[in-house]
Structures are given as C-alpha cells and as structure tokens.
Structure 1
Amino acid sequence: MMEPTPVNPEPSSTGLDPKVAGLLCYLLGFITGIIFLVVEKQSRFVKFHALQSIAVSVILIALNLVLSFIPFIGALFALILTPIGFILWIALMLLALQGKQFKLPVIGNWVEEQARKF
C-alpha cells in the first residue's frame, strides 16, 4: 500500500498556510482546484493538491455520468461510488492539512509531474 509522503511545504503565494491551502484545494472539488492552480505561483505542494483535486473530481463526475446510463447495475455502482468518493475527499483534505502528499494510484505520478510544470 502506498504511504503518504510527509513534506515540508514551501510558503504559498496566496498568503495562506500551504497546508490550509492544500486542504482548500479539495473543498469544492475541481472548482477550488482550478482557483488554487491559477492563483498559486510558487508552492508545488499546493499545486499538487490543486491538480489532484481537479483530476479526482473529473474522474468521479465522469464515472457517475457513465453509470447513470446503465440501468439498475449503474445505479448500484453509483450507490457504492458515492460514499467511497466522500471518504476519499475527507481523507485527501486531512492528508493535505497534515502536510502530506498522497499520490493516488494511476493518476498520482501524472499529477506530480504536472505540478512541477506549472
């Protein structure tokens, strides 16, 4: 199992504590992710969490959209996906607040690479 990586986040250009900014990236999903990605100029920690928030939100929205077209089975999977998404959302916010970077499987390495580019 992948372990969250504790980091010493560099200061955020937003004026917020970078750990709080990382948490806020997840607050409203891709909306706050995009806001922090645009506003943040220096902290890779905040950019990482902003990009991961955007990616997770888009994936969950797309999955729910696809599942809505599948009768019965789709509704059953959506019913399971919703609490899993909620738990993931809370966990990612808490990890960011603790100053940890948890790279999610499949998208984590891509997110980290993109955060370096921004």
Structure 2
Amino acid sequence: METPNDQMGGGQKKTSTGLDENIAGLLAYLLSFVTGIIFLIIEKENSFVRFHAFQSVFLFGGLFVISIGLSLVPFIGWLLSALISPIAFVLWIVCMYKAYQGERFKLPVVGDIAEKQMKA
C-alpha cells in the first residue's frame, strides 16, 4: 500500500507544528483523548494529523465515558469495565503504529465519525 510519504519520494511531509506528519499522528494518540484535543487545537492544516486527532478523541473519550458508566453498575458492569482496559491498550498500540506508518487507519464507527468531523 502506498502512503503519502511514498508519493513524496521518501521525504516526510511536515505539519504546521514543524513535526513530520507520521510523528504528529502517533502523538495524537499518546495520552489518549488529551493529546488528540491538543492536536486539534494546534494543527489546523494537515488533514492526516487532524483525522488521527479526531479518531483519538472519539475513541478514547468514548471508551472513558463507557468505562465510567459501567463502573457504576455492580458486578456485571465492573467486569465489563475491566475488559475495556486491555481492549483500549491494544487499540492504542495499533493506532499509534498505523499512524507512524503513515496510514490513515480508520476504525469501524469511530473512524466514520472522525471522517465526518473532517468534512464539517
């Protein structure tokens, strides 16, 4: 699969922050939705970084809200809430890796929401 960096002859595309876009995309996931929000605020031009920042905010913000909601339900809610952590960890690693590789990796549902925000 050809990435945007391949099209540029191997050179990394820079963002308005001065970072390579794949590094900025990875960093949008680093501290879950917090760095996603930061990159949405500071990066106004690069659609690759903004997509990953939106996806980070919606994915980890959503998982955070779901986890808190489930933790309020005794027993079954607690068990389901405990399952979210390992799932979130795997998604975190996969998303950072894909962003670093220069891929616009779109998760089901959350990726669609992120794309819609990009068009708004």
- Per the normalisation by structure 2, the TM-score is 0.86
Asked whether the equivalents of residues 37 and 51 of structure 1 are also in contact (C-alpha less than 8 Å), the reply is yes
Q: For residues 72 and 2 of structure 2, what CA distance do their matches in structure 1 show?
A: 40
Map of 2:115 onto structure 1: 112
2: CA distance between counterparts of 1:105 and 1:28? 21
Q: Could you say which residue in structure 2 is the equivalent of 1:83? A: 86
Output the aligned Cα RMSD.
1.6
Residues 6, 114 of structure 1: CA spacing in aligned structure 2 closer, same or farther, 3 A cutoff? farther
* Rg (Cα) greater in structure: 2
Q: Give the C-alpha shift of residue 6 in structure 1.
A: 5.5
Q: Tell me the CA shift for residue 116 of structure 1.
A: 3.7
Number of the residue aligned with 1:8: 4
Residues 1-118 of structure 1 mapped to structure 2, 5 A cutoff: 7-8=3-4, 10-117=13-120
How far residue 113 of structure 1 moved from its aligned partner, in angstroms, is: 2.4
Q: Find the residue that maps to 2:4 and give its secondary structure.
A: coil
Cα 1:78/1:18, change in 2 over 3 Å: same
Runs of 5+ unmatched residues, structure 2: 6-12
Tell me, which stretches of 5 or more residues in structure 1 are unaligned? none
Q: Normalising by structure 1, what TM-score?
A: 0.88
Identify the structure with bigger relative contact order (alpha carbons < 8 Å, sequence gap 6+).
1
| Pairs aligned (count) | 113
Task: List per-residue Cα deviations over 1:27-69 (Å, max 9, x = no partner).
Answer: 1111111111111121100000000110011111111111111
Give, in angstroms, the shift of residue 115 of structure 1: 2.0
1:26–1:53 CA contact under 8 A, matched in 2? yes
Structure 1 residue runs of 4 or more that deviate by more than 3 Å after TM superposition: none
